[in-house]
Amino acid sequence: MSDDASGPEDRPVALVTGASRGFGFLLARELAERGHDLVLCARSAGGLDAARADLERHGVQVLGVPADIGVAAEAGGWSTRRWPGSAGWTFWSATQG
């Protein structure tokens, strides 16, 4: 868990694609350990749910967005999501399996 005592509105927000497993998940876990709230994107809703449950144990907020960024119709709106109270992304990583 992060030792950052700030409230959720003060924490950095990271968006990580390919976050349900592999490098994307490892990156998301490292960011959670550093106190980032997370927006995760992955093709597998089931994998996303498992990743979200694991990462929330670090005391951060996690939003899962099932989408395939290689499909234009699915990729269109997820990247514009903002965390409530956040000014925007402080980190963005695009990984793909």
* Tens-digit pLDDT profile for residues 70-85: 787 776 665 555 555 5
Other Cβ atoms less than 10 A from the Cβ of 1: the count is 10
Domain annotation covers residue 2? no
| Length of the chain as a residue count | 97
pTM: 0.75
Residue 57 sits in which domain range?
Answer: 11-74+87-94
Residue 94 vs residues 4, 22, 57, 72: alpha-carbon distances, Å: 26, 13, 23, 15
Number of domains observed in the structure of the chain: 1
Q: Give residue-wise pLDDT tens across range 34-73.
A: 999 998 988 888 999 999 999 999 999 999 888 887 787 7
Amino acid (one-letter) located at 85: G
Phi/psi of residue 15, nearest 5 degrees: -110, 125
Residue 82 falls inside a structural domain: no
Closest among 3, 69, 58 to 28, alpha carbons compared:
58
